[in-house]
Each structure stands twice: as structure tokens, then as C-alpha cells.
Amino acid sequence: MKKGVLYGIVASSKTRVRCVFCRVHIPKANKCIEQHTNGAKHKDNIILMTENGMIFRDDELYCKPCKRVMDEEESVSKHIDSESHANWQAAIEDLTDGEYIQLEPYLTSEKEEAFCEVCKKDINCSLQVIESHVNSIVHRGNILEKLKPLNGIFAVDNDEEVYCKVCDAYVDNTVQTILEHIDDDEEHIEWFAEMEDLIEEQDVSLERYLANENEVNVYCKRCDLEIICDIQSIENHVHSESHLNNLG
């Protein structure tokens, strides 16, 4: 008989077992249990649990974000749609968006920690702790170092400033000012929006151009060709016959 954390099957009576994941009773026969655990609903519930921090503990479902044992008749999908769980989900997504924080270690296991990729450390996955971490000076500094080569930001001899290649402008060398430039400067944002719209699905990479101060070209992977990094040159290339012929 399949039992345990992977299957959620527990004893119910002499003739039946209970699937904790699906909130149903099943005849106590291997064939019936196999049929249920191989079914689409059971597999879908396992996926939902994994994505939402629900674990099988002491023969019951426990929701880590909500910090409670789920009611016996409460389905996985119904709980996910509940106010408390939905509010947590919205709050944690808002806090971690763009912060390089992996929630999977917390959601998919009994661990109580998420993992911050830029700080290389585990963090207790409570809203208060995550908020404190993402607003800390250390984390903001590490985020900045991650973003600089993605945004054409380079150090200069004058430590009081950095140089933005995208905008051909100097910016005060403070974490707050540089992040504000990346996130809020209209010229910076407009350049990226125009470039991304132009190269979308064209296999043209800005990575090397942005990460190297003296690089003047972008790279077309499809054509194995370097192109001067300006709007007109890239536009001419992506609409060229040679580039279009390489679509296949």
C-alpha cells in the first residue's frame, strides 16, 4: 500500500483509507489506491501543495504560510483561495519581486527558510524578516552589484560617481541614487523599453554590451554576427533578408 508523504494515504477504517491531499476516502485495496494516486486530481493537488507551502505532517495537511493545520474538509484549492493564504501570497510576491530571493526551499520542503541569491544566505521566510532583509543596507548593496552589469553601470576614477553607458551620464555613487537611476530615470527606462521591443524573439543579446564599458556591439546569436549598438543599426539588421532567412 502506498503511504506517506508522497501519497498522503492514511488509515481510516478496516475497509477504507483516506487521502489527506484530496480529502476523499478510498477502498482499502491496492488497485483502488494505485488508481487514485495515479489520477490527475491527486497529482494536481501535490503540485498545488508544493507551490504553496503545504506539507504532510502528522497525517494532516499543514500550511506553513498560514501556520495552521487545515480543516479536514478544506480542499487544497479552497485553502489557496482563502483570504489568509491569498493575502500572504500577494505580500510575499510583492516583497521578493526583483530581489533574487528563492522561495522554493521554503515552499517545497519542511524548511522554514527562503534563500537570498545575492547575499548567499538562508532567511527565515516570515513577512517581517523578509521585509527587514530586502531593505537592509547589505542586501541593497548586493542587489546593486548584481544590477550594474545588466544596466551598463561602471566605476570611474572619481569614487564619488559612476558612469551609465546607456544614458552617457554620471550618477552619484550611492546605493540609493544608482538604484533610483536604474528604476526611475526616464531616459534609462526608455532605452531599455525600446531595445527590448526591438530585439524581442530576435536572438539579439545586449549582455556583453552592457557588461563591458568599451564594447560597442551587440551580438546576434541567430546570425553569429556583431552589430553596432544603436537603434537604427539593430533595426536594419533584424529586418534584413539575411536575418529573416535564418529564422528556421
HSE, CB side, 13 Å, CA atoms: give it for residue 44: 7
Give per-residue burial for 38-63: e unless 16+ CB within 10 Å, then b: eeeebeebbebbeebbbbbeeeebbb
Q: What is the pLDDT along the chain (248 residues), one digit of tens a residue?
A: 334 445 788 888 889 998 999 999 999 998 999 999 999 999 999 999 999 999 988 888 999 999 999 998 899 999 999 999 999 999 999 999 999 999 999 999 999 999 999 999 999 999 999 999 999 999 999 999 999 999 999 999 988 999 999 999 999 999 999 999 999 999 999 999 999 999 999 999 999 999 999 999 999 999 999 999 999 999 999 999 999 888 76
- The set of cell numbers assigned to 123 is 532567511
pLDDT at 248: 62
pLDDT at 80: 94
pLDDT at 218: 96
pLDDT at 11: 84
Answer for the pair 41, 92: CB distance below 8 angstroms, yes or no. Answer: no
* The CA-based dihedral angle spanning residues 91, 97, 101, 106, taken in that order and rounded to the nearest 10 degrees: 40
- The set of cell numbers assigned to 94 is 510583492
Answer for the pair 243, 234: CB distance below 8 angstroms, yes or no. Answer: no
Please give the Cα distance from 233 to 225 (Å, whole number): 12
* The CA-based dihedral angle spanning residues 149, 227, 165, 152, taken in that order and rounded to the nearest 10 degrees: -10
pLDDT at 6: 55
Give per-residue burial for 18-29: e unless 16+ CB within 10 Å, then b: bbbbbbeebebe
